[in-house]
Structure 1
Amino acid sequence: MAWGLGLSWVAFVVWLWRARVNAGRVCDAPQRLRVRWAVLGWVVPVVNLWWPQMVVGDVHRASRPSTAARGLI
């Protein structure tokens, strides 16, 4: 069971990293933290209490249809 939990955490962090990179590339919405904090925010003590939520919130805000997309054609 611990292996499954560890693998699911790794899969989620990899997904969050990729989603954060894509949010920065295709959207003009401001990102509050640098890309590296998508991973480090989970493992740094004390910071892990609120920075992962900020990263997920930024990705969510960038993925909304009402947010202006960067001019990619």
Structure 2
Amino acid sequence: MATVIVISVEGEDGLWVADLTAGTVVPLPLPKSGGLKVVTDLRATGSTVTKGVNLAVTVKSVEAALSGHYDG
């Protein structure tokens, strides 16, 4: 099972890498080539790209997520 996720948030610049095993989230430099560059370019045009993710929502805070709320 994959334990690393590349994420971005609508309205925010940049990419992030979440390592679920290590429990870390760090900035990812914008790719200059390859498949990730292609999807990053699509994202810049307003597209949403998902693969292997079955739930992704934004929340205002950790407390909101822990209480079962999300911005939907």
**What's the TM-score once normalised by structure 1's chain length?**
0.23
The structure carrying a bigger strand percent of its residues is: 2
Q: Which has the higher contact order (CA 8 A, sep 6+)?
A: 1
